[in-house]
Amino acid sequence: MTERPVRAPRHRADAAYARGEETRRRIIDVALRLFSERGFEGASTREIAKAAGVNAPALQYYFDNKEGVYRACAQYIADSSAAHFGPVVERTKVVLADPAATPDQLFEAFGVMLDALTDFQLLPDDAEYRRLFIAHEQIGHAPGVLFEIFDKTLRPQMGEMSARVVARYCGMPEKDPLLAMRVMMLCGQVMVFSLGRRTMLTKLGWERFGPEEVATIKRASREHSRVLMDSWREESRRAAAGR
């Protein structure tokens, strides 16, 4: 009787790959926290490896060096941002492509973008770490790779779509120098809750920014945006009538 050859266990390579990805992601999670708390210079690869439960050679295997770990954290933030905002951008493009889109449809498109920004800024478990990571880049305490990556993904499109929706709703020229400033102000009303997280929670008497609290912020920011955008729309009407 011919013996059948012994087969190796199936999915061994897949299992090893999954474990490798899990380890890599754990290192990124830990590094994101340490970079956000201490800045690029303040976080060492030894600390990152220890906190992630790996040895230094393992960290070097996945990322080469500290700059590689940092860039992986930046890429994670950019990738999660693109996944979150991608559907919103596509939905806004559809509305803008419709020449018959009503003011309510245009405002709803902007409102959805504002809602998405609120969720991204406040709801994920690592939202505070991402915010601080970005802050270190903005003040020059980091290599400055995140915004380089952002500018190759959806960030420019988000800015463009927001400006086009507001301009069309308000009857403003897209090249009006006031437009960019107004869009930043509308988005800033949401971002202030992330930037001043602890202060805002104390003032509002909240323990956290959970789904219920975030829903309240969304409602208030939409109401505030509608009042401002309606006033700018009326201003454009009066200016057109006076010509």
Predicted pLDDT at 152: 83
Measured between alpha carbons, how far is 177 from 169 in angstroms, rounded to an integer? 16
User: Among 5-9, 51-55, 221-225, which stretch is predicted with the lowest mean pLDDT?
Assistant: 5-9
Res. 187: pLDDT tops 80: yes
Residues 6+ away with beta carbon under 8 Å from 42: 34
Predicted pLDDT at 155: 81
Res. 20: pLDDT tops 90: no
CB 133 within 8 A of CB 192: no
Predicted pLDDT at 23: 92
Q: In the chain, where does DSSP find H-type helix?
A: 12-42, 45-52, 56-63, 66-97, 103-122, 127-138, 146-150, 155-170, 177-195, 197-204, 211-241
Long-range contact set of residues 207-211: C-beta below 8 Å, sequence gap at least 24? 209/122, 209/123, 211/123
The number of residues in the chain equals 243
Predicted pLDDT at 220: 97
3-state secondary structure 154-165: CHHHHHHHHHHH
Supply φ then ψ for residue 239, to 5 degrees: -65, -40
Res. 186: pLDDT tops 70: yes
pLDDT band, very low/low/confident/very high, at 137 (cuts 50, 70, 90):
confident
* pLDDT tens string 138-173: 888 888 898 888 888 878 889 999 999 999 999 999
- DSSP for 185-205, written as a single string: HHHHHHHHHHHTHHHHHHHHT
* pLDDT tens string 83-115: 999 999 999 999 999 999 999 999 999 999 999
Which of 67, 64, 86 lies closest to 75, judged by CA?
67
Res. 6: pLDDT tops 50: no
